[in-house]
Structure 1
Amino acid sequence: MQEVTVEAAATSTRDDPVMPPLQHTPSRARSTFALLWLSETAFDLGTTLVSFAVGVWIFSRTGSAQDYSFSVLAAALAGMLATPFAGALADRHDRRWVVLSCDAAAIAGTFAIVLALPSGRLGIGALYAYAAVAAAVGALRRPSIRVAVSRFVPKDRFAQVGGLTGISRALVQVGAPAAAGFLMARMGLRGVMATQLCLLLAGAALVFAALTRAGADVRGGPRVGESSTRSTSLLSGAGASFSGALAYLREQPLMGALLGYGALVQCLLVLATTLLTPMVLSTHSSDVLGLVMSVGIVGGLLGSVLVATAWIRRGLMQWILACDALQCAAVLFAGCVTTPALWCAAAFVCLFCGSTSVACSHALWMRKAPMGRQGSVFALIAASNMLVMCVVLLAGGWLADAVLEPALRPGGALGATVGVWFGTGPGRGIGFLFFVSGAVGLALTVLALAHRRLRRLETLVPDGGES
């Protein structure tokens, strides 16, 4: 980290007679961020371990893919419903205690599952509830961490922060399934839950230490003379948080356009990539699927490394749009081919560009969101992303199974038209869905690139804290 007086903190405190501007030396900033990064990595690793293990446990007990999808849907809905409260907590309360309370709730829920498992009476409903609670806790916790980081990291390093976050996420995606399978084979679900408990305890200790040493401005919460205005109920605070985020998007319509554009592109890409597994398994073995997914994860990791090491400081919007265009083109290409080598190439490009775009978008929102509303804005972004996930989970599988796959069977409704180009048989309906999703996403990105004001968003929208 560079030696600076953080602009964000200085802006929010320079007129405050009670609290002087917060100073961060390079070593202090680095160590504080390292603690937060390690905490988030431990939290994400535990969450991914449990998500994988719970899916295996449910499917092994019921043999129903629908039962598994319901656990994912329960988590997505719970996270989406929690996000308005997350914004209020991040903007109005001490983030140290917000995060610690979330960690305590996660620890208590995990401990309860660990105790209940030996009895053999644990039902699927309990795991649905656990998945929902865990997702809600994560949704409440994340904006507070993100706002805290934006208060002491220099603005020109926000992209690096996104890159480092992407690196840890990619490493978790690589290691967690193998670790969960190892633990499930030897100790069962209880072993995975016990590991999650240890990771949560370690993460809670790390984040509490980081936020304690970071300073009062980073931690947030009411200052002297503000207690009367901050004593509103959590429900009214959530409403005010949501209204504040919407007000910011009305004040800065380009940021609203960026939010809408990001949600649409993500919807199209998630719709396609969620169905990668059934498309590959329709004609190839699970080994091929594992290879394609591994190559894709490596691409995502390298994209995050690029952002973390290249010090991308300007032209973030151009990076986002260019990477999205390549990502959509890779999805389109994946729908047209049927060989593992070409799927691997498409997966690599898609996730390489996707991780780069996400890191740059992360940095752009951290830079532009106003200091007093950052938690609310970040929560609104998370809610829109989870809404997309819910729509995809509800509609994507039905569209593939009930409409496109039957239509592209030999003799199907589209066999004599679309089937001439895409072929007919298992997996071709999903391939056509990939093609359509990629084509629509590519067209949307090209339109965004042609929009002069959106392309220049980084210079037209003032940074958070600026007038």
Structure 2
Amino acid sequence: MRNEAVLREAGEPPGGATEGHVPRAAPLMRPAFALLWLSETAFDLGSALMGFALGVWIFQQTGSAEQFSHAMLAAAVPAVLMAPVAGSLADRFDRRWVIGSCDVMSALSVVCLAWLLFSQRLVVEHLYVFNAVAAIINAVRTPAYRAAVSVIVPKDKMTQASGLIGMTQSLLQIGAPMAAGYVMGVSGLEGVIAVDIVMVAGGALAAFGGLSRARHAIRGVAVSEPVSFAHGTVLSLAAVLRYFRSAPTMLGLAGYGVLQQGLLVVATSMMTPLVLSTHSSDVLGLVLTCGAAGGLAGSVLLLLVRMNRRLMLWVLGGDFALSLFVLLAGFATSSFVWCVCAFCALMAGSASGACAGALWMRKTPKASRGSVFAWIAALDLLAMCAVLVLAGYLGERVFEPALAAEGRWADSLGVWVGTGKGRGLGFLFIVCGAGSALLSLVALAQPRLRRLDRRVPDALDVPSPAVSSSPPAAAG
């Protein structure tokens, strides 16, 4: 009876498919997935409001792009260190309590931030600590959430599920800058903090309810006997290493994603100081809103068009288009062109990211999905750490002075990219966009990576033993 309930939740006929039986297509919007979707929506709404409000607050307090990048760096380093722990928690422990505990810790950290603000003790250094704590929480929560969704959603609906989640995130990003600006205008940063606490609490309840309806998604590994936390962490890392040895093409996808993330994160992290260097926060809100609208358009495209084949080509093509618009944004100085670039870039990036996410959910074994997702996120953050240290320094200390009105590059490079305030950051966009476009073309020229969909078989969604040491079937 228990197995039949699991099959019904997974959209499969009890007893398995019989000969000549064509299983009915499973619906995407089941109660379990709907609750998890609502949970992530609430969490993202609070994060979007806080992210916009704190980003503006930091830059207005310091006026420094380098300190702005340091705030993001403070979030990246602790999250990287949490990867082994996050993977083990996502695969070997009850995901209801993992996600719920993360949400409680998130609410407590926001309460501490509110106390500092109300007592007029809040300084930029406190926000570095807040970002670090938030990054640790997110590093633990996200692999557990993604692993649970990958088990609940049918394999042929994974791209659509990614598109639906991306659509709500884009809708929130469209409204969040305007909403955050309004709330800050009425009640200051205190009002944004209050809304974030309510959203986090609601998200925790929805996530717990969703996973309680889909108990087969609570753990990736079937627990036959208790395993210590330290031993579980070692087993989690071993499972990731076994998987990448058996599927080297997926390791190539991870490497491509890390390099691409490292280049493009500069553009996303430096958009705020680039715009605010010559325009007001209202213009920044408009640019970010246009970008979110583009992300919404890309997500709607995934919902309307069934992208279940050649996903790797969609990834590479989307990344190439995204890179071109990042490059164009570096040459621009007008808010209108920035809005167009933001819309088109995030439309391409939304489709590309959802297809890449669907590939990882399809190809990764169920028992180690949380661990693989955690390590992929850690590798991305390592790249972000490296480029943020370099980008913040180059943008503010090298490129900006060199492309000032009387700078040493004013009569050479300045003829092409312009001179004055913000042009050094614009040149940073140009370099990163060009490098990212070249990387996409190089990846497209590699047959093994280009044909990843067919070279790497989809993983079977069956429970795995708790302490299995045998490697999966070779792939790639």
SS at match of 2:30: helix
**Judging changes above 3 Å, is the alpha-carbon distance between structure 1 residues 346 and 127 closer, same or farther for their aligned structure 2 residues?**
closer
Distance 2:427 2:185 in 1: 37
> Deviation string for 1:333-391 (max 9, x for gaps)?
22234444333332222111011100100101000111111011100111122223323
Distance 1:361 1:285 in 2: 35
TM-score (norm 2): 0.85
Alignment of structure 1 residues 392-411 onto 2, 5 Å: 392-411=387-406
Deviation of the 1:308 alpha carbon? 2.2
1:17 is matched with none
Q: Which amino acid aligns with 1:181?
A: G
1:227 is matched with 225
Contact 1:6 1:151 in 2 (8 A): no
Contact 1:89 1:95 in 2 (8 A): yes
Distance 1:148 1:326 in 2: 31
> Deviation string for 1:300-338 (max 9, x for gaps)?
110011112222111100101111111111122222344
Alignment of structure 1 residues 312-327 onto 2, 5 Å: 312-327=307-322
Deviation of the 1:175 alpha carbon? 2.0
Deviation of the 1:149 alpha carbon? 1.1
Distance 1:242 1:366 in 2: 18
Deviation of the 1:283 alpha carbon? 4.5
**Judging changes above 3 Å, is the alpha-carbon distance between structure 1 residues 93 and 25 closer, same or farther for their aligned structure 2 residues?**
farther
Distance 1:45 1:261 in 2: 30
**Judging changes above 3 Å, is the alpha-carbon distance between structure 1 residues 273 and 100 closer, same or farther for their aligned structure 2 residues?**
closer
**Judging changes above 3 Å, is the alpha-carbon distance between structure 1 residues 294 and 126 closer, same or farther for their aligned structure 2 residues?**
closer
Q: Which amino acid aligns with 1:374?
A: R
2:106 is matched with 106
**Judging changes above 3 Å, is the alpha-carbon distance between structure 1 residues 361 and 259 closer, same or farther for their aligned structure 2 residues?**
same
Contact 2:65 2:273 in 1 (8 A): no
2:464 is matched with none
Q: Which amino acid aligns with 2:349?
A: G
Contact 2:70 2:388 in 1 (8 A): no
SS at match of 1:409: coil
Which piece of structure 1 moves more, 188-197 or 205-214?
188-197
Matched, 1:367 2:367: no
Q: Which amino acid aligns with 2:219?
A: G
**Judging changes above 3 Å, is the alpha-carbon distance between structure 1 residues 250 and 221 closer, same or farther for their aligned structure 2 residues?**
closer
**Judging changes above 3 Å, is the alpha-carbon distance between structure 1 residues 7 and 327 closer, same or farther for their aligned structure 2 residues?**
farther
Q: Which amino acid aligns with 1:140?
A: V
Deviation of the 1:125 alpha carbon? 4.9
> Deviation string for 1:49-92 (max 9, x for gaps)?
23333445556666766665544332222322223211101111
Deviation of the 1:241 alpha carbon? 2.1
Distance 1:106 1:416 in 2: 50
Higher helix content, 1 or 2: 1
2:83 is matched with 83
Structure 1 unaligned segments of length 5 or more: list them: 15-22
Deviation of the 1:260 alpha carbon? 1.0
Contact 2:66 2:392 in 1 (8 A): no
Alignment of structure 1 residues 116-195 onto 2, 5 Å: 117-121=117-121, 125-195=125-195
The counterpart of 2:414, out of the listed 419, 428, 441, is 419
1:31 is matched with 31
**Judging changes above 3 Å, is the alpha-carbon distance between structure 1 residues 91 and 437 closer, same or farther for their aligned structure 2 residues?**
same
Structure 2 unaligned segments of length 5 or more: list them: 1-5, 17-22, 461-471
> Deviation string for 1:104-147 (max 9, x for gaps)?
22233334444565444556555443332222112111111111
Alignment of structure 1 residues 1-20 onto 2, 5 Å: 5=7
Matched, 1:51 2:51: yes
Distance 1:457 1:241 in 2: 25
Contact 2:244 2:250 in 1 (8 A): yes
TM-align CA RMSD: 3.0
Contact 2:220 2:367 in 1 (8 A): no
Deviation of the 1:196 alpha carbon? 1.9
**Judging changes above 3 Å, is the alpha-carbon distance between structure 1 residues 281 and 361 closer, same or farther for their aligned structure 2 residues?**
same
1:443 is matched with 438
SS at match of 2:407: coil
Deviation of the 1:399 alpha carbon? 0.7
1:20 is matched with none
**Judging changes above 3 Å, is the alpha-carbon distance between structure 1 residues 247 and 306 closer, same or farther for their aligned structure 2 residues?**
same
Contact 2:66 2:396 in 1 (8 A): no
Distance 1:302 1:25 in 2: 26
Distance 1:289 1:114 in 2: 25
2:200 is matched with 200
**Judging changes above 3 Å, is the alpha-carbon distance between structure 1 residues 414 and 243 closer, same or farther for their aligned structure 2 residues?**
farther
Contact 2:173 2:288 in 1 (8 A): no
Contact 1:329 1:442 in 2 (8 A): yes
Distance 1:345 1:410 in 2: 27
Q: Which amino acid aligns with 1:211?
A: L
1:330 is matched with 325
Distance 1:319 1:202 in 2: 35
Contact 1:6 1:24 in 2 (8 A): no
Contact 2:36 2:206 in 1 (8 A): yes
Distance 2:332 2:193 in 1: 40
Which piece of structure 1 moves more, 401-410 or 37-46?
401-410
Which piece of structure 1 moves more, 419-428 or 151-160?
419-428
The counterpart of 1:256, out of the listed 251, 255, 270, is 251
Aligned residues between the structures: 449
**Judging changes above 3 Å, is the alpha-carbon distance between structure 1 residues 413 and 118 closer, same or farther for their aligned structure 2 residues?**
closer
1:18 is matched with none
Which piece of structure 1 moves more, 41-50 or 151-160?
41-50
Which piece of structure 1 moves more, 109-118 or 422-431?
109-118
Which piece of structure 1 moves more, 48-57 or 206-215?
48-57
Contact 2:75 2:134 in 1 (8 A): yes
Q: Which amino acid aligns with 1:344?
A: C
